[in-house]
Amino acid sequence: MRETELDIRKQHIIAKRMFVTICITIVFIAITKIPLPFLDNALLLRTMQHHSNQLTQMLSIVAGGNIQEGSIFLVGLTPYITVQLIFQFLQLGISPRLKAISEGPNGQQKIAKMMKFVTAPLTLVFAGETLLLLEKLTHNQLLVVHNYPVWLISLLLMLIITASTLTVIWLSDLNTLYGLGNGINYLISCSIIVGILETAKFKGSILRGWSHILGSKLVPVMFIVLMVFLLYNAICIWYQSSTFQLKMQFAKLDSSIDTSGNLPLSLNIANVMPVVLTGMLIQVINLFVMMYCKKLVVLVNFKSWASIGFYSIMLIIFTYIFTFCTFYPKNLTERIERMNAYILGIDPTTSTIHLFWRVLSFLATINVVFFMIMVIIPMILLKLAGLSESMVMGISSVLIVVTTEADIRRQIAGLRAKQLPNGIIS
């Protein structure tokens, strides 16, 4: 009877979290559909269709594809992700004061508030640059200012975009605390799905096109695509749940008690953030290229092998950076010392730091191999098959969505087992 009551309570908690996530999803999609005022949306849509390149496709990763519609969520979560990365660098010891704040009472809450304060002005900058780009693409005909000063309308639009971005960040925090999955990753996944539905117009246009090309071969091809997707999904779920175990020994208070244990480190420490950050970098470079140096478009349009090579290099770099930003060896060593423990087989001194450098380098290399198999190799195969650049770069979007799904599955499994969903260091 007791176990039945516990099962009911677990199901109730999961249902509550699902309800919160559904509500947040509805609000988020509604925000991405609200158009900015004082814009000629018809002209913007025609212009973006004419300039349909990697810019609009990469923006869809973080803005739901709604740059074509002039949504108030124009710059997406790019400013917030940028601030997160900067703060993680600073907490590695570059800024002792910031590190002391993060390790003090309610440190992470204070850091989160500081990040939001920094995000606001950075979002204003991103919004201004994006509006400037759109104005340039539309030959300064985008804004419908009537009798108002252009600078006043531009400032108002920048403030609206900033307010919408901060609102979405608040929604992501709510989802992390009370919903399912990591808030940022989940909303990025929602953006990708919304972008896909916008592209397809949810009318089966893609399927009809494939039916016309493939004819009677459509059903077998669709079956193969489905099987490949399920295999892709299964590999991601397995990889997300895999861990690397380090043998640990705690100080003995009683000789009769076994005080040894394991320090589990998730294989996918970096999670999907290197893919997101690489996409964000491509977006920023695209903005620069479109405005100032169109000769560099070869690096970001995914029509050339140079762009895939550039994407691969950036993905590798961000994988190593984010792995060491997430768990810096010195910080890990200090945490173990505070637990009055040490890694079996080595002295609890400087060699512990060296061990963590080797372990994290090994895990980062595994992540690089994983991204090569799951992202870069499919990109190369699609490129060799002669498919469009949107199909080539869409592989990274698929990985983001599938990884987010795996995170949610793991969290639900943890709730059902009455365990914390972050019981594994990841």
Domains of the chain: 2-203+242-416 (1.10.3370.10)
Q: What is the mean pLDDT of residues 64-69?
A: 60
Q: Which residue shows structure tokens 């969903």?
A: 421
* 321: CB partners within 8 A, 6+ apart: 85, 274
Q: Does position 13 have pLDDT exceeding 70, yes or no?
A: yes
What's the average model confidence in pLDDT over 101-119? 73
What is the model's pLDDT at position 258?
Answer: 52
**CA pair distance 71, 74, nearest whole angstrom:** 5
Most confidently predicted of 108-117, 331-340, 356-365 = 356-365
Q: What string of H, E and C letters represents the secondary structure of 175-219?
A: HHHHCCCCHHHHHHHHHHHHHHHHHHCCCCHHHHHHHHHHHHHHH
**How high is the pLDDT of residue 65?**
47
| Mean pLDDT, all residues of the chain | 75
At CA 229, angle to CA 404 and CA 23, rounded to 5? Answer: 35
Q: What's residue 275's pLDDT?
A: 83
Q: Which pLDDT value is given to residue 160?
A: 92
Residue-wise pLDDT tens digits, 144-177: 877 888 888 889 999 999 999 899 999 998 998 8
2-16, 97-111, 212-226 — most confident range: 2-16
237-to-185, 191, 247, 411 alpha-carbon distances in Å: 15, 21, 25, 12
- Highest mean pLDDT of the ranges 21-30, 34-43, 57-66, 179-188: 21-30
Question: What is d(CA 315, CA 217) in angstroms, rounded to the nearest whole number?
Answer: 36
pLDDT at 138 over 70: yes
Least confident span in 108-117, 280-289, 413-422:
413-422
How would residue 420 be classed by pLDDT, with cut points 50, 70 and 90?
Answer: very low
Q: Give the integer Cα–Cα distance in Å for 125 and 128.
A: 5
What pLDDT is recorded for position 302?
A: 66
Asked whether the predicted pLDDT for residue 36 surpasses 80, the reply is: yes
How sure is the predictor about 74, in pLDDT bands with cuts at 50, 70 and 90?
confident
Q: pLDDT > 70: what percent of the chain?
A: 69
Which one has a higher pLDDT value, 33 or 425? 33
**Residue 253 DSSP label:** S
Spacing of C-alpha 112 from chain mean position: 17
- Mean pLDDT value across residues 196-212: 55
pLDDT band, residue 21 (cuts 50/70/90): very high
Q: Are 20 and 174 in contact (CB under 8 A)?
A: yes
C-alpha distance across the termini of the chain, in Å: 35
SS3 345: coil
Q: What is the pLDDT of residue 421?
A: 42
Name the range with the highest mean pLDDT among 101-110, 262-271, 296-305: 262-271
CA-to-CA distance for 195 and 64, rounded, in angstroms? 5
* Range from 21-35, 64-78, 191-205, 218-232 that averages highest in pLDDT: 21-35
CA distance 192 to 65: 8
Residue 45 has pLDDT above 60, yes or no: yes
Q: What angle do CA 358, 362, 367 make, to 5 degrees?
A: 145
Q: Say yes or no to pLDDT of 366 above 80.
A: yes
What would the two tokens of residue 120 be? 């606001």
Residue 222 — very low, low, confident or very high, per pLDDT cuts 50/70/90?
confident
Query: What pLDDT sits at residue 379?
Result: 80
Helix or strand holding residue 224 (H, E): helix 218-241
Residues 66-77 have a mean pLDDT of 76
Structure tokens at 265: 């480190």
